[in-house]
Structure 1
Amino acid sequence: MIYENDISYEIRGAIYSVYNNIGPGLLESIYESALDYELKKLGLKTKRQVVLPFHYCGDQLGSFRLDLLVNDKVIVEVKSVAELLPVHHKQLISYLKLSNFRLGILVNFNVNNINEGIFRKVNGL
């Protein structure tokens, strides 16, 4: 069994690989595709644009979409923006709470130093 922390380590490595190969400044969809490719090369199971139902007071009122779900355990939210805003962090935290997943990675590829663009978020359940 592979745990969230192990998956997170592999995700970070894949993020570095994508960033080092194509750099900043492209569309989010490009980074999502490249990251999906790198993760699959590592033998991880990935799903893109995963639609999950949104329930409120016991009723399904809609859905939300995860950029990447890795090994059915870790959410990866991909951004390519000039600046991450607090709402981007809150979005991933909300996704974690609504889905009951424990770990998420928020990555902004539009940075000069990729170390400044990777954020790990934990759902305390």
Structure 2
Amino acid sequence: KIYSRAVCVELTAAGIRFEREKRYPVRYRGVLLCEQHLDFVVGDQIVLEIKSIDQLAPVHHAQILNYMRVARLRAGLLMNFNVVVLPDGMSRKVL
């Protein structure tokens, strides 16, 4: 994931705290079902999901919202690097 590595470089250069591929347990009725692996958690406040695809689909928006719920974070940013101008590939989410 070259784009994830580039994001690491940029966040580190900016002095922003982050965790990469952070794992969160998913439980149902107290039973551990699985772990969700989030691309990034930035500053203990924002879920950052990285994509490089032709177009963001509804499933990608649902995915980051689910990650935000699992992490119990209200803010999320979905970034698609497969665009001409990066802001066109960004989608902010708030729960």
Instruction: Compute the TM-score of the two structures, normalised by the length of structure 2.
Output: 0.94
Q: 1:59 aligns with which of 25, 31, 45?
A: 31
Displacement after TM superposition at 1:60 (Å): 1.2
Secondary structure in 2 aligned to 1:43? coil
Q: Higher strand fraction: Structure 1 or Structure 2?
A: 2
Runs of 5+ unmatched residues, structure 1: 1-28
Equivalence map 1:82-121=2 (5 Å):
82-121=54-93
Displacement after TM superposition at 1:61 (Å): 1.0
Give, as a single letter, the amino acid of the residue that structure 2 aligns with 1:122. V
In the alignment, which residue of structure 2 is the partner of 1:46? 18
Secondary structure in 2 aligned to 1:93? helix
Displacement after TM superposition at 1:113 (Å): 2.1
Secondary structure in 2 aligned to 1:87? helix
* TM-align CA RMSD: 0.9
Give, as a single letter, the amino acid of the residue that structure 1 aligns with 2:52. S
Please give the alpha-carbon distance, in whole angstroms, between the structure 1 residues aligned to 2:84 and 2:9. Answer: 23
Give, as a single letter, the amino acid of the residue that structure 2 aligns with 1:65. H
Instruction: Compute the TM-score of the two structures, normalised by the length of structure 1.
Output: 0.73
Please give the alpha-carbon distance, in whole angstroms, between the structure 2 residues aligned to 1:37 and 1:59. Answer: 37
Runs of 4+ in 1 over 4 A off after TM superposition: none
Secondary structure in 2 aligned to 1:54? strand
